[in-house]
C-alpha cells in the first residue's frame, strides 16, 4: 500500500497513485530550502540569562532552545584530560544510570581542546522553556521524564550553572527546532546529553 492524495490529506490507497510523488516533490523543495541552513543555524547566538537558580522561569514560557553551562572550578584539574575525568566521575554516577538522565558524551568531550571558566553542559529544546528548565532542576530521580535532575542527583551543591536561551517564534517549530538544536550541538559540544 502507498499513501495517496485525497484533497489535502493522504490516505492508504493502491500503489498506482501519486502521493509518493507528492512527498518526493516536497522533499526536493525542502532540500533546496535547507541549503545553507547549517551555516545559518551555527551563526545563531543564545541570549545569556545568568545564574540558573536565579532565572525567573515564568518569564521564559516560550518555544525555543536552552543551553546550560557549568562552572569548571569545582572539577579543578591541571589538564583537560584530568578535568574531563573528574567531571565524568561526578556526572556518570552508577546509582543514576537507570534514572533517565543524560550521560557524558565521549565523542563531543574528545573535541574540546581546553578547560574554560564555563564549560558547555547541556543543550535542549522545548515549546515551554521555563517548564522544561524547571524539570532539569527539580524532577525526582525516579521520574521517567528524561532530564538532568540536578537536585535529585545532588549536583546543585558545590556547582554553579548558567542558563541561556534562544527564542523560536516560528510556525514550523517541530521541523526547525530539531535541525537548529543539532547544528548548535555541533557548535557548542555540550558535555552531556542523549544525542
Task: Give the phi and the psi of residue 15 in degrees, each rounded to 5.
Answer: -60, -20
**Res 2 pLDDT > 80:** no
pLDDT of the residue at 36 = 83
pLDDT of the residue at 12 = 55
The closest of 132, 124, 154, 122 to 141, measured between CA atoms, is 154
**Res 192 pLDDT > 50:** yes
Task: Kindly report the pTM of this predicted structure.
Answer: 0.85
Higher pLDDT, 177 or 11: 177
Using the structure block, give the residue that is written with the C-alpha cell 537536585: 151
CA 16 vs. chain centroid, Å, equals 41
DSSP string across 88-126: HHHHS-GGGTTSS--EE-HHHHTT--S--SEEEEEEEEE
Buried residues in 107-127 as b, exposed as e (16+ CB within 10 A): ebbeeeeebeeebbbbbbbbe
pLDDT-based confidence at 43, cuts 50/70/90? very high
Which cell numbers hold the place of 8? Answer: 489535502
Average pLDDT over residues 136-146: 91
Amino acid at each position: 500500500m502507498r499513501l495517496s492524495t485525497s484533497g489535502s490529506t493522504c490516505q492508504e490507497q493502491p500503489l498506482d497513485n501519486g502521493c509518493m510523488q507528492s512527498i518526493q516533490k516536497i522533499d526536493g523543495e525542502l532540500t533546496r530550502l535547507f541549503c545553507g541552513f547549517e551555516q545559518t543555524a551555527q551563526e545563531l547566538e543564545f541570549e545569556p540569562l545568568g545564574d540558573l537558580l536565579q532565572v525567573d522561569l515564568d518569564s521564559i514560557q516560550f518555544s525555543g532552545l536552552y543551553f546550560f553551562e557549568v562552572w569548571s572550578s569545582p572539577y579543578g584539574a591541571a589538564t583537560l584530560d584530568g578535568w574531563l575525568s573528574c567531571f565524568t566521575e561526578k556526572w556518570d554516577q552508577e546509582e543514576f544510570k537507570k534514572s533517565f538522565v543524560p550521560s557524558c558524551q565521549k565523542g563531543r568531550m574528545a573535541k574540546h581542546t581546553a578547560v574554560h571558566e564555563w564549560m558547555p553542559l547541556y543543550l535542549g529544546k522545548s515549546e515551554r522553556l521555563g517548564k522544561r528548565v524547571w524539570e532539569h532542576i527539580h524532577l525526582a530521580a525516579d521520574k521517567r521524564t528524561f532530564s538532568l535532575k540536578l537536585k535529585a542527583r545532588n549536583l546543585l551543591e558545590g556547582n554553579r550553572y548558567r542558563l541561556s536561551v534562544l527564542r523560536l517564534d516560528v510556525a514550523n517549530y517541530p521541523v526547525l527546532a530539531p535541525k537548529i538544536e543539532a547544528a548548535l550541538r555541533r557548535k557548542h559540544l555540550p558535555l552531556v546529553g542523549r544525542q
